[in-house]
Structure 1
Amino acid sequence: MKEVGKIWMNGKLVPFKNAKVHVLTHALHYSTAIFEGIRCYDTPSGSAIFRLPEHVERFFRSAKLYSMKMEFSKEQITDAIVKTVKASGLRECYIRPIAYYGYGTMGLTPTPNKVDVAIACWEWKMGESKAGKESGARCKISSWIRIDSRSQPMQAKAASNYANAALARVEALKNGYDEAIMLNHHGKIAEGSAENIFVVKDGQIFTPPLSSGCLAGITRDSVIQIIRAGGQEVTERELERDDLYSADEIFMTGTAAEVKSVAQIDDVIIGNGKIGQTTRRLQKEFMDVAMGNDQRFSHWLLYI
């Protein structure tokens, strides 16, 4: 990662190399942190942050679920994100706001500690991963079960959730795959390690409901709205492993992934093993929106 620009920490922009936390920071020991992943795109009309209000809203909702007393308002965080992107000098970047229980009192209970907030951004080119963009990704059904709301709030984008996801991702990579797909405690499809999942079958599009344990992804919501605006429906219902194996197409969505094709699940080839027509169309339509070429969704872009 290139050290570019500055990082916003508790109200101040500090040099990239000086953005440090204490080794006894509570979040480092107990995973008491929440965060967001946001994209800024280099559009023909200038740099634009994608769906910033929705990301900030989820950021604060996650904080509330972890009893975090934020010292900054939504407006201040929004302004800080814009300032951080401008200070980076990047026309296109990935943005990472994070709130975490900081250094103070050690022990399991986090609430005596101050909630620190930081915002960083770095270069993350569109379509950086060939798997899923130039060719379909190879995925493995993980042996790790997706944690659900009986264990912790799954609609919070919390660091602790991603320890579970990291185990699944590493397992998949060690077995020669590109990505993991996780089942919930009922054996239903939840999501990928860091993406929501969609199935195309007989011209219909399906995706697991939020009750499956998947995150309410903002890219997920964006793609659903794009599909519906084009006159097609998306059905949210529980999906079985069989639904994946028998699909005509499978694609995944996420801030980093955007719209990613899946060519294989375990040893089963999906469709003809190539990027399907529906997936290819949605990849283009999503990028048209992100680049400001679809006026129906121009309100999703904040030009800076």
Structure 2
Amino acid sequence: MVVYLSGRIIDEKDAKISVFDSGFTRGNGLFETMRAYHGTIFALDQHLDRLYGSAKTLGYPTMPGKTILAEACKNTITANNLSDARLRLTVTNGLPGAQTPTILITAVHYSGYDENLYQTGMSAILLNGFRTSGNITTTLKSTSYLSSVIAKKKAQEAGCHEAVLINEKGSITEGSYTNIFAVTNKAILTPPVEDGLLPGITRDIVINIAVSHGYTVFQQTIQAGDIFDMDELFLTNSLMEVMPLTKLDGEKIGGGRPGETTQQLLLLYGEHMLAMLRGDR
């Protein structure tokens, strides 16, 4: 593997970052996970916009232009001879007093989640104590990722794929590495960002797709006690796209099968992705 590190594409064995880098010493870093289909990075502009907005919020030193970073992402895929890939773009505040951030881009082959999961759906547990409303750090895709790591581990120990996190007000926020949506009475609901969640890129895309195809979408608070009464639940992120969630805390959601709206949105997402890659939109 070769990687991009602060302006150069080099062999992974030669990639070295200082032990004094603030990303290492303080977890002061940001990252974006992206997916490439047939050599083209999907939603690259949206990911970079979020990254640059977060870097500005944190007062990072001078960032390279977006065009430079976009080309670096594309070149990293090409240099690794990849077509379908998972990219991770990591930016840290760099060394103390430095005027430039540390930038690392890695790319590995990726072809998606197990297709069987889209037919059966994922399972999850509910967890308290991992998100709070109005917390600015939750809105940043930060390398300070321990709360999500611990929540995901608890889910795995319970034999589940994901953990759905509840804030201090008893409201649903997001998964440990996903955003969550609910379907009830033919309306699509998803928690608002201020309840304590990351404004996911795929979340935004799914909302726009749903609205453009006539669905009613509300960004509104969902109480944890109401989640079991929903007709459907589904999860989103850049790698899984749209994933049915059919079991929560051991209880079946929607009869334990992927719902009609979820399946339709997965198809529409795929069509949208292909259209974007072709340049039709």
TM-score using structure 1 length: 0.86
Query: Residue 186 of structure 1 aligns to a residue in which SS?
Result: coil
Instruction: Please say if residues 91 and 103 of structure 2, whose CA atoms lie closer than 8 Å, have aligned partners that are also in contact.
Output: yes
Higher RCO (CA 8 Å, separation ≥ 6 residues)? 1
- For residues 161 and 209 of structure 2, the distance between their equivalents in structure 1, rounded to whole angstroms, comes to 27
Among 85, 89, 100, the residue aligned to 2:77: 85
Is the aligned partner of 1:137 residue 2:98? no
Q: Does 22-31 or 114-123 show the bigger shift?
A: 22-31
Q: What is the aligned partner in structure 1 of residue 93 from structure 2?
A: 101
Instruction: Please say if residues 220 and 254 of structure 1, whose CA atoms lie closer than 8 Å, have aligned partners that are also in contact.
Output: yes
Q: What is the aligned partner in structure 1 of residue 204 from structure 2?
A: 221
Instruction: Please say if residues 288 and 294 of structure 1, whose CA atoms lie closer than 8 Å, have aligned partners that are also in contact.
Output: no
Q: What is the aligned partner in structure 2 of residue 56 from structure 1?
A: 48
Q: How many residues align?
A: 281
Amino acid at match of 1:154: T
- For residues 75 and 211 of structure 1, the distance between their equivalents in structure 2, rounded to whole angstroms, comes to 31
Cα distance, 1:291 vs structure 2? 2.6
- For residues 226 and 50 of structure 2, the distance between their equivalents in structure 1, rounded to whole angstroms, comes to 30
Cα distance, 1:292 vs structure 2? 3.0
Instruction: Please say if residues 144 and 164 of structure 1, whose CA atoms lie closer than 8 Å, have aligned partners that are also in contact.
Output: no
Q: What is the aligned partner in structure 1 of residue 35 from structure 2?
A: 39
**Which consecutive unaligned segments of at least 5 residues does structure 2 have?**
none
- For residues 267 and 8 of structure 1, the distance between their equivalents in structure 2, rounded to whole angstroms, comes to 43
Cα distance, 1:16 vs structure 2? 2.5
Instruction: Please say if residues 289 and 298 of structure 1, whose CA atoms lie closer than 8 Å, have aligned partners that are also in contact.
Output: no
Is the aligned partner of 1:166 residue 2:162? no
Cα distance, 1:129 vs structure 2? 6.9
Among 129, 140, 157, the residue aligned to 1:156: 140
Among 245, 248, 255, the residue aligned to 2:231: 248
- For residues 198 and 151 of structure 2, the distance between their equivalents in structure 1, rounded to whole angstroms, comes to 16
Query: Residue 221 of structure 1 aligns to a residue in which SS?
Result: helix
Query: Residue 86 of structure 2 aligns to a residue in which SS?
Result: strand
Cα distance, 1:238 vs structure 2? 0.2
TM-score using structure 2 length: 0.93
Query: Residue 255 of structure 2 aligns to a residue in which SS?
Result: coil
Q: Choose between structure 1 and 2: higher helix proportion.
A: 2
Pair 1:156–1:277, CA change in 2 (3 A) = same
Pair 1:220–1:229, CA change in 2 (3 A) = same
Q: What is the aligned partner in structure 2 of residue 230 from structure 1?
A: 213
- For residues 178 and 79 of structure 1, the distance between their equivalents in structure 2, rounded to whole angstroms, comes to 34
Instruction: Please say if residues 40 and 93 of structure 1, whose CA atoms lie closer than 8 Å, have aligned partners that are also in contact.
Output: yes
Amino acid at match of 2:143: A
Instruction: Please say if residues 126 and 249 of structure 2, whose CA atoms lie closer than 8 Å, have aligned partners that are also in contact.
Output: yes
Cα distance, 1:134 vs structure 2? 3.0
Query: Residue 119 of structure 2 aligns to a residue in which SS?
Result: coil
Is the aligned partner of 1:27 residue 2:33? no
Q: Does 69-78 or 228-237 show the bigger shift?
A: 69-78
